[in-house]
Amino acid sequence: MQFTLVVYGAPHASEGAATALRFARAVLQAGHGIYRVFFYGDGIHNGSALAAPPQDEQDLLAQWQELQQAHNFDLTLCIAAAQRRGVLSGSEAKRLEKPGSNMAAGFELAGLGQLAEAAALSDRVVTFGG
């Protein structure tokens, strides 16, 4: 079974992102696949390279990156939500004439069309946070 996950929760403001990560691990461990993880709304903060959680808290960014590298699925940030919240790729920062980028490695910007595509190509779409 192929899954797409939609994460609405910021990494340390709600349990949505951490729950999505645990769910993703369980899905993969059970032998299923993840097509795409789509971060939307405040969930786009999961893809910020500038996040620096305290040592006694889990580093969700690093964990998403490790899981993505091990299992080769898409980590996408909604481009409109990311721009509104100041999470930019290098090309978007340049296009918008901003002084720098802060999107983490392994993430890409995508529109809602990519979410619709992922829903069409997946057996299940599961949302986290809200």
Which residues have a catalytic role annotated? 78
| Residue whose pair of structure tokens reads 């192929």 in the numeric block | 2
Beta pairing partners, 118: none
The C-alpha atoms of residue 26 and residue 95 are separated, in whole angstroms, by: 39
**CB-CB contact of 44 with 82 (8 Å):** yes
Buried b (16+ CB within 10 A) or exposed e, 77-114: bbbebbbebebbbeebbeeeeeeeebbbebbebbeeeb
Q: How far is CA 23 from CA 26, 49, 72, 87, 121, in A?
A: 5, 23, 16, 25, 19
